């Protein structure tokens, strides 16, 4: 039997969340006055007033919210199991007094979706329509809630939901980034419950980094997605390192989106800058600075998805963290083919090809990256 293929980076906007976005008029929102051509406006650069509303953001279809479409996508691309997560910007923008309600609602919905799909995939189920694809999920956190205790309670509650296998989180944390000491109870709860945190970008870099307002009308999403997202992830996890999060919580497990942004490539430079920093106690200053080496953190705390679309990126990822910590993903439903006559998604086949080319002489490693590592790390049996 061939080993399972597991997609750890695959998103969904559950129908209730879509409905909430449709009712909003500020980012994030869905513009669809006639209920037939929804446009998703989630990135701040999408909301450019020089662009007519019906051309802002991007068109979205049912692949963003209908789980049967995801199951069909999985079958088409040979994916046996998906670990679905709410797409960005998650619950970051929710009013504080509604955050807990939304987290419980989304996470219960994810649990029910997985349970239903897996019932259909169960060979013992007489009603099974021969569906073989199975689902697990990562939960969303009520990070805007009035106190971190509510987030901690949700992390603990997720452990009671049978199909939940981690949490997804953006880089803003409680609003001030991931080196914020107020996050300590949350790191502690993740460590204590052995919950993997999937760290995913959303905010990118300020538009000024890309030439100021109007960047979208010139180059669309290329700069924010190709560069803004990976740099945002790199900065977020480096701030965690610099503030000693991995020293205080050595058991924390963090899966970094897009193969860690640029972290594997820049790790040596980051380490060198730390060693040369006079502010840190090790350089004669008064700021503690990180106690553990970045290389140790990369091999102990960090997991990387394989959503990097090329051999050099995968090679940097395995050199930094090891092939046993690299996990296949698709980023579905983002990056659909622009040519509607194409059926296999190039965004997926490119990643398959890159993994096969990187490990062409070691088929066991291909199988591990495609699914074995995820099955072990996320306990997907």
Which residues would be at the binding site for ligand 5CU (CB under 6 A)?
11, 42-43, 87-88, 221, 225, 331, 334
CB of 148 to ligand 5CU, least distance (A): 25
Spatial separation of the C-alpha atoms in residues 343 and 351, rounded to whole Å: 16
SS3 category, 296: helix
CB of 84 to ligand 5CU, least distance (A): 12
Ordered DSSP codes for 311-374: HHHHHHHHHHH-GGGEE----BTSS--SSTT--S-HHHHHHHHHHHHHTTT-HHHHHIIIIIHH
Give 209's contacts (C-beta < 8 A, 6+ positions apart).
Answer: 228
CB of 17 to ligand 5CU, least distance (A): 14
CB of 263 to ligand 5CU, least distance (A): 17
Nearer CB in complex with ligand 5CU: 210/359: 210
Nearer CB in complex with ligand 5CU: 87/380: 87
**27 secondary structure, DSSP code:** S
Burial of 307 (0-12, 13-18, 19+ CB in 10 A): buried
Spatial separation of the C-alpha atoms in residues 125 and 115, rounded to whole Å: 13
Ordered DSSP codes for 174-242: TTT-TT-GGGHHHHHHHHHTT--EEE---S-S-GGGGTSTTHHHHHTTHHIIIIIHHHHHHHHHHHHHH
CB of 42 to ligand 5CU, least distance (A): 6
Nearer CB in complex with ligand 5CU: 88/321: 88
SS3 category, 41: strand
Nearer CB in complex with ligand 5CU: 115/226: 226
Residue nearest to ligand 5CU as judged by C-beta position: 334
Nearer CB in complex with ligand 5CU: 88/262: 88
CB of 334 to ligand 5CU, least distance (A): 3
Nearer CB in complex with ligand 5CU: 225/287: 225
Spatial separation of the C-alpha atoms in residues 249 and 215, rounded to whole Å: 39
CB of 33 to ligand 5CU, least distance (A): 22
Cα distance from N-terminal residue to C-terminal residue, the chain: 15
Cα 376 to Cα 71, 139, 381: the distances in Å are: 22, 19, 8
CB of 167 to ligand 5CU, least distance (A): 15
Widest CA span of the chain, in angstroms? 70
Nearer CB in complex with ligand 5CU: 11/165: 11
Nearer CB in complex with ligand 5CU: 43/240: 43
């Amino acid at each position: 039997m061939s080993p399972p293929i597991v997609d750890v980076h695959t998103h969904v906007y559950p129908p209730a969340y879509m409905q909430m976005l449709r009712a909003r008029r500020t980012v994030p929102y869905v513009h669809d006055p006639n209920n037939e051509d929804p446009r998703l406006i989630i990135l701040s650069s999408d909301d450019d007033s020089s662009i007519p509303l019906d051309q802002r953001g991007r068109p979205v279809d049912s692949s963003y919210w209908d789980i049967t479409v995801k199951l069909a996508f999985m079958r088409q691309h040979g994916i046996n199991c998906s670990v679905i997560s709410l797409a960005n910007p998650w619950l970051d923008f929710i009013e504080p007094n509604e955050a807990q309600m939304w987290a419980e609602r989304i996470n219960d919905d994810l649990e029910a979706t997985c349970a239903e799909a897996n019932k259909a995939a169960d060979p013992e189920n007489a009603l099974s329509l021969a569906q073989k694809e199975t689902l697990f999920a990562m939960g969303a956190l009520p990070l805007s809630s009035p106190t971190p205790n509510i987030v901690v309670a949700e992390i603990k509650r997720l452990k009671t939901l049978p199909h939940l296998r981690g949490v997804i989180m953006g880089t803003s944390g409680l609003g001030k980034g991931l080196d914020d000491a107020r996050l300590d109870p949350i790191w502690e709860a993740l460590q204590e419950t052995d919950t993997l945190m999937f760290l995913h970008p959303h905010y990118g870099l300020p538009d000024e980094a890309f030439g100021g307002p109007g960047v979208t009308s010139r180059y669309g999403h290329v700069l924010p997605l190709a560069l803004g997202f990976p740099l945002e992830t790199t900065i977020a996890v480096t701030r965690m390192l610099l503030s000693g999060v991995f020293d205080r919580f050595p058991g924390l497990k963090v899966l970094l989106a897009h193969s860690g942004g640029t972290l594997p490539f820049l790790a040596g430079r980051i380490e060198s800058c730390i060693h040369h920093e006079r502010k840190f106690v090790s350089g004669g200053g008064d700021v503690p600075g990180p106690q553990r080496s970045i290389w140790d953190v990369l091999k102990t705390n960090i997991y990387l998805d394989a959503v990097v679309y090329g051999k050099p990126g995968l090679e940097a990822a395995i050199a930094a963290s090891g092939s046993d910590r690299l996990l296949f993903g698709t980023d579905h439903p983002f990056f659909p083919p622009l040519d509607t006559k194409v059926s296999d998604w190039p965004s997926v086949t490119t990643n398959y090809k890159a993994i096969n080319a990187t490990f062409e002489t070691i088929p066991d490693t291909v199988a591990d990256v495609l699914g074995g590592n995820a099955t072990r790390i996320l306990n997907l049996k």
